[in-house]
Amino acid sequence: MKMKKALVTVGTTKFEELVRAVDSPAFAEVLQKHGFQELVIQTGTGRYLPRKLVPHGQQAHVQGLLVRHLNFTSSLTELMSSCCLIISHAGSGSIFEALTCTSSSTRLVVVPNPNLMDNHQAELGQHLAAMGHLVCATPDTDALVAAVDTLPSVPRVPFVKGTASGIASHIDDIVLLK
């Protein structure tokens, strides 16, 4: 039987608020409540490393949940495809990678980084949430616990990957106009 795994990822950036929010016994408890057996926290370039749930450089069992963290992985797509739940920063690359490399039963929670200019991550996250592809949350423990706790009752609309042919054709039309 496959282990029910959750991944928290900040990609290649730093998003310490998100890492701090999931480094919490309350977050571990809600995952365990929903049958998760493993939590992987990918910390990126941030300085904050999980310490409440797992000692630095180690893995630990917390409330029946195996918790480990890593800075980077060369196979994020492979790691994502092995998870039932992905909690990701709301960068467009990470969002679309998660939506296209996972099964239709994988749930995605995106967390916009409010410290970035123009709040573009929030706009993308809220738009895709309105379309039913994911859930959008804020980077605090209570919001993430609530998001995970309500996921079973939130319908998910599968994401269908499009092609770039339409936009490429449009660009060709504009560029080739004389």
Would you list the domain boundaries of the chain?
Answer: 5-176
This prediction has a pTM of 0.88
Determine the Cα–Cα distance for residues 125 and 134; give it in Å rounded to an integer. Answer: 8
Give the pLDDT confidence of 87-129 residue by residue, as tens digits. Answer: 999 999 999 999 988 787 899 999 999 888 777 899 999 999 9
Q: How far apart are CA 30 and CA 64, in angstroms?
A: 12
Architecture of domain 5-176: 3-Layer(aba) Sandwich (3.40)
Mean pLDDT of the region 134-150: 97
pLDDT score, position 102: 79
